[in-house]
């Protein structure tokens, strides 16, 4: 089997990377940067996002697994003291594949140019020029005109990230959906929005159409780009899915509990 290790590149993570690489090659697994069958993330959730986007072009052929060395590792199944156990499982045990939904974002310009992205966590649309003003259409029908700081569109697994901080719901990844959550919307006698997060199933597409010609800051997970001349931003559940390598059961609600409710899993 071919593998690749993506590290956060701090001293601790790099040491674990070197150790795991040596152990796995001793088991006659092949280290392959271009076409790995399994990618091991060593770090925090930011490192996992980096690994995901590095191999986003081969999601149907690559599975991911995380080793947690950061402050919060929502995507990580293993801790540093379980490295030897993980190495043996990778080398000797066929892994189960668990798939999570992804978010597709298509940015269209008035010029006809188009960019397409996949997000594991979320996409956020903001501007440095005051408030964003969008017509929000769902399934091609006008829903509302949003005015405010911005909009966060998250996946089920990403619903525990910035979406949660905005007051959005936590959605189990077995539900193929995306969630639109407002960022400081303007609501008064003149301007109104729904004021609540919207959860859209996979066959519903959301289209954001700017009412004003502004530059927008559009983030896809951990990276952000500035766009001008934006005609529309289309968001929906992607056809692609992320594949996780599982060697043991770690239920989603246990991850939520251990990350936000209990201390050290107790």
d(CA 33, CA 53): 14
Pick from 80, 38, 45: nearest CA to 59: 38
Q: What's the DSSP call for residue 170? A: P
The number of C-alpha atoms within 13 Å of 62 and in the hemisphere containing its C-beta is 24
Contact present, 181 and 146 (Cβ < 8 Å): no
Angstrom distances, CA of residue 3 to CA of 53, 84, 92, 102, 143 = 16, 16, 14, 23, 46
Distance (Å, whole) CA 181 – CA 188:
18
From the list 9, 83, 8, 86, the residue with the least C-alpha distance to 45 is 8
> Does the annotation mark 229 as catalytic?
no
Residues forming beta bridges with residue 122, ordered by sequence position? 154
Here the tokens at position 145 are 């005109």
- For 27, phi then psi, to 5°, come to -85, 10
Closest CA to 151 of 120, 182, 194, 119: 182
Active-site pick, 26, 45, 149, 229 = 45
Name the residues annotated as catalytic: 45
């Amino acid at each position: 089997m071919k593998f690749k290790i993506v590290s956060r590149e701090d001293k601790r993570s790099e040491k674990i990377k070197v150790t795991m690489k040596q152990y796995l090659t001793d088991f006659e697994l092949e280290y392959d940067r271009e076409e790995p069958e399994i990618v091991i993330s060593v770090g925090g959730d930011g490192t996992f996002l980096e690994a995901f986007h590095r191999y986003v072009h081969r999601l149907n052929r690559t599975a991911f697994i995380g080793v947690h060395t950061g402050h919060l590792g929502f995507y990580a199944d293993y801790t540093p003291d379980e490295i030897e156990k993980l190495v043996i499982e990778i080398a000797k045990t066929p892994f189960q594949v668990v798939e999570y939904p992804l978010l597709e974002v298509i940015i269209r310009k008035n010029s006809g140019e188009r960019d397409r992205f996949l997000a594991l966590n979320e996409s956020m649309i903001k501007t440095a020029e005051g408030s964003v003003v969008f017509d929000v259409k769902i399934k091609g029908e006008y829903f509302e005109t949003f005015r405010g700081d911005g909009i966060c569109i998250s996946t089920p697994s990403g619903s525990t990230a910035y979406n949660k901080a905005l007051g959005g719901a936590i959605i189990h990844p077995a539900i193929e959906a995306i969630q639109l959550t407002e960022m400081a919307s303007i609501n008064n006698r003149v301007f109104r929005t729904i004021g609540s997060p919207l959860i859209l199933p996979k066959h519903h597409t959301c289209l954001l159409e700017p009412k004003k010609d502004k530059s927008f800051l559009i983030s896809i997970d951990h990276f952000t780009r500035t766009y001008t001349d934006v005609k529309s931003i289309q968001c929906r559940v992607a056809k692609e899915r992320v594949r996780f390598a599982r060697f043991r059961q770690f239920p989603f609600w246990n991850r939520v509990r251990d990350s936000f409710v209990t201390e050290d899993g107790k």
